[in-house]
Amino acid sequence: MSSQVTHIVAEVESQVHLQELQDMCQQYPQAILVKRNWLESCFANQRKVRASKYIHHFK
């Protein structure tokens, strides 16, 4: 991880995993936490697609 990371692709598998991802997002606020299907959509479209419908939302 570095300050140049723009996206974090992850699936939330447990509360512990969720906490780790939240901590990572606080450490790297420039990075957007997205679901795996965002990356799959980028590959399918052969371009970077908008991440808005793939963003993880914390409760």
Residue-wise pLDDT tens digits, 1-55: 788 889 999 988 888 888 888 888 889 999 999 999 999 999 999 999 999 999 9
User: How does residue 59 score in pLDDT terms, banded at 50, 70 and 90?
Assistant: low
Q: How confident is the model at residue 57 (pLDDT cuts 50, 70, 90)?
A: confident
Using one digit for the tens of pLDDT, what is the confidence trace for 14-26?
888 888 888 888 8
Q: How far is CA 1 from CA 5, 13, 25, 30, 45, in A?
A: 7, 21, 11, 12, 26
pLDDT of residue 19: 87
Q: How far is CA 45 from CA 3, 32, 41, 59, in A?
A: 27, 20, 6, 31
